[in-house]
Chain A
């Protein structure tokens, strides 16, 4: 797809062009508003930051993200900017502080142009569950961009900005990356601070970047990684420090997850693309081995117990008492809660709060929540163990390419199954990357997924960059 703005490297060559290019970027966001990618544009903040970046570059500062124009999913806090999470319940809410990732992006020279659309509270796989309108797939406006970080994927795919931040809980970046033909990386749990990311499933959530190439994803992840005193779950593991990403040049041992490649839900075109990928890798001299993950099939039920349990608690704070929306007809305390939460949350969010409340309730707790934690541990151990014998595991990112708007919205289980290949990495906390490979017969992008051991983002991306070089012509 076309870029509507020059590359970051080109901008760094003549930094004084940055303010104009930021203007161009904001203009194209407005021009393409029908895509529904953005829920707010931050013109003043973007222009101010552009000026500051110009003077910092001119004074000789080396800015790792100098020239980068980025967009941010609207469940990540930016001080004094709206924070809606795609929900009516956060009507008119402005953040009083910035997320750690925002501070790190801006310190590194990135210009943030706006907040992007998402499934309400990151719950969904199509960006159809947004109180602020749906987002469209730039390859086919009748189709979804994927979700929940659909707006961030569209903003990059449509060439409005260079990179964007989404968030992952069960595939919310890799799946839209695959649907929109761009790269998306879910980092290791703890790799990136969650401070300022509105929590959905706290033990699974990670801020996750999108960009068109693995090299650009690397630039972003390198900046936002690292421990944070404000997030007790952030890791002190060393952060990737190469100045730029080099495609992996050695020979790899790549694991193929047999159950996934033979999965009944896999569309024929996706199967063909996977076979292509495998042939190309073999031809390039890499070793491919079959790997079994016999318990990965339980990932979806486990995920929907753990994530909804945590969500039911995380979303309790949206009660109409201190901020956001409060129903106009409240009369007493019970009605503040009942009416506000009934009208403030969308259907999918209410469904998940109810599921999560149910699985934590006395009498059901052990059967659901306790069991799910045990199975999560088994799935995680299995995956981590498999990764000891290979460099990466290769799977399709999604069983199908982008589906039609409305196709699955009334069939939650079928919607949930679009995450079957992505959820295991979240349960295990390992990093996973989606790289675009080819287009299907309808001209829709197909993504392949690579999973790697904990805290090996740099190697994972360098393998992704090597695979980018093997892609069929014409992509």
Chain B
């Protein structure tokens, strides 16, 4: 890489989450039997015509708002003409010189610092079908995907490292999911990425010839493919060679780039305005309504969590990654839990229970509404029950969603040991049985407090009032000095 600089721009294709396809009423859904989600419109049957789906426009508007892009109240559809068996009309309805939005940016963290990439444009188009090439050389086609709405997000060529491209794609996926515009499942092809890669000598003002990488179906692939292509181009330049523009396909299994068959007659798509659809016109009021209905975006949430709630960085990122998690946490706080406790509970017991039981967050929050958990958190914070007891109550709560925390406390016969004399006796016995640890504490190892507290909780079966026990313990540890 010595002396060379990488120049990369990404094109992200995101399938929009909508009930129906972009221009017909077929369901927009992955995984159905091949060629079952089709109709005359998406099959290109003679005489059929496309019509707009309003929800597509709403989704594009959400994304444009989230990226801070300029939304064009008037945009236009064009036909991109080419022949392929998975393109039944012989053209794709897309947007060429009047895209839905231009500009905007996306910020993300890479190697510990924040980077922001400018976005060139985002335009709407329809997806093509899926060709599957069989071992015997024949090709079969599934047209279920024909007409699925896509938004293509084109970045400026501002990436200077493969990890930056990976981090950007990851942040874009997070954003798309957060605002519910795309499910982001790269395995299912609902989010796809192409990269335009070139290299140049550091300090060179002009870009050199670029090559396009296709089929980058994971964040890892994006990074690997760009790294491989960088190496290839530098090697060619170092040997005095020239880069010719070409399209390469990333083979994920073999981790290598394979040049794609050169398309006959170059890429002249003969774009022209789609005569079957009038100009797409939206009103400022439509945009404003959508803006008002949008949740706080991850970037804004992180700001709120770190500045207003003073949460640590791990918590800030964890809570802002999914709209369901942030929404649940916000409700915990709104119903009286402290931000610190809410974060601790969501990241701890709640997440553990999701992992253990394989629940989605939606399923969890149906079982344990935020208001219920908030009650338990506050009970714990007030010291009505200990943390250990609270965990027991929580575990019972998730399997008995019809009960309230109070009912479970009663059911489990939980009570808190607040008898100072009794606690004092137990604790002083523990301290005297561990002279070595006591000595360490006195040498300044304050961590030993945790060790002693653990023993106290063990001895009291988790029923000791933690604050009271700690006070008593500290008195004993320090008094005998």
What secondary structure prevails in chain B residues at the interface with A?
loop
**Residues 374-386 of chain A, each 1 if its beta carbon lies under 8 Å from chain B, else 0:** 0000000000000
Given contacts A316-B89, A317-B90, A319-B83, contact A197 B272 (CB under 8 A): no
Given contacts A232-B51, A233-B276, contact A313 B79 (CB under 8 A): yes
- A333 CA to B137 CA, complexed, in Å: 11
Chain A contacts with B in 308-362, Cβ cutoff 8 A: 309-310, 312-313, 315-319, 321-323, 333-334, 337, 357, 360-362
Q: Chain B's nearest CB lies how many Å from the CB of A229? A: 7
Q: Could you say which residues of chain A place their CB within 8 Å of the CB of B275?
A: 201-203, 233, 310
Judged by a CB distance under 8 angstroms, whether B290 is at the interface is no
Given contacts A203-B275, A316-B81, A360-B81, contact A90 B46 (CB under 8 A): yes
Chain B contacts with A in 254-288, Cβ cutoff 8 A: 264, 268, 270-272, 275-278
Judged by a CB distance under 8 angstroms, whether A231 is at the interface is yes
> In the complex, which of the residues B40, B270, B277 contacts A313, with contact meaning CB atoms closer than 8 Å?
B270
- Is B47 within 8 A of A95, CB to CB? yes
- Is A316 within 8 A of B91, CB to CB? yes
Q: Could you say which residues of chain B place their CB within 8 Å of the CB of A319?
A: 83, 90
Given contacts A232-B52, A317-B46, contact A361 B270 (CB under 8 A): yes
Judged by a CB distance under 8 angstroms, whether A196 is at the interface is yes
> In the complex, which of the residues A318, A322, A362, A369 contacts B272, with contact meaning CB atoms closer than 8 Å?
A369
- A198 CA to B46 CA, complexed, in Å: 5
- Is A97 within 8 A of B51, CB to CB? no
Given contacts A313-B79, A313-B270, A362-B268, contact A232 B49 (CB under 8 A): yes
> In the complex, which of the residues A93, A97, A316, A360 contacts B40, with contact meaning CB atoms closer than 8 Å?
A97
- Is B49 within 8 A of A334, CB to CB? no
- Is A232 within 8 A of B277, CB to CB? yes
- Is B47 within 8 A of A232, CB to CB? no
Q: Could you say which residues of chain A place their CB within 8 Å of the CB of B277?
A: 232-233
Q: Could you say which residues of chain A place their CB within 8 Å of the CB of B103?
A: none
**Residues 45-81 of chain B, each 1 if its beta carbon lies under 8 Å from chain A, else 0:** 1111111100000000000000000000000000101
- A144 CA to B217 CA, complexed, in Å: 60
Q: Could you say which residues of chain B place their CB within 8 Å of the CB of A369?
A: 272
Judged by a CB distance under 8 angstroms, whether A432 is at the interface is no
- Is B278 within 8 A of A317, CB to CB? no
- A333 CA to B141 CA, complexed, in Å: 13
- Is B47 within 8 A of A357, CB to CB? no
Q: Closest A residue to B141 by CB, please name it.
A: A321
Q: Could you say which residues of chain A place their CB within 8 Å of the CB of B327?
A: none
- Is A357 within 8 A of B90, CB to CB? no
Judged by a CB distance under 8 angstroms, whether B88 is at the interface is yes
Q: Closest A residue to B276 by CB, please name it.
A: A202
> In the complex, which of the residues A232, A322, A333 contacts B276, with contact meaning CB atoms closer than 8 Å?
A232
Q: Chain B's nearest CB lies how many Å from the CB of A190? A: 9
- Is B90 within 8 A of A230, CB to CB? no
Judged by a CB distance under 8 angstroms, whether A433 is at the interface is no
Q: Could you say which residues of chain B place their CB within 8 Å of the CB of A334?
A: 264
Judged by a CB distance under 8 angstroms, whether B388 is at the interface is no
Chain B contacts with A in 319-377, Cβ cutoff 8 A: none
Q: Chain A's nearest CB lies how many Å from the CB of B399? A: 50
> In the complex, which of the residues B47, B52, B83 contacts A83, with contact meaning CB atoms closer than 8 Å?
B47
Q: Chain A's nearest CB lies how many Å from the CB of B47? A: 4
**Residues 65-99 of chain A, each 1 if its beta carbon lies under 8 Å from chain B, else 0:** 00000000000110000010100001001011101
Judged by a CB distance under 8 angstroms, whether A194 is at the interface is yes
Q: Could you say which residues of chain A place their CB within 8 Å of the CB of B52?
A: 232
Interface centre among B46, B48, B89, B264 (most CB of A within 10 A): B46
Jot down 10 A-B pairs with beta carbons below 8 A, ordered by A: A97-B40, A199-B276, A202-B276, A232-B277, A233-B278, A316-B91, A318-B46, A321-B88, A361-B270, A365-B270
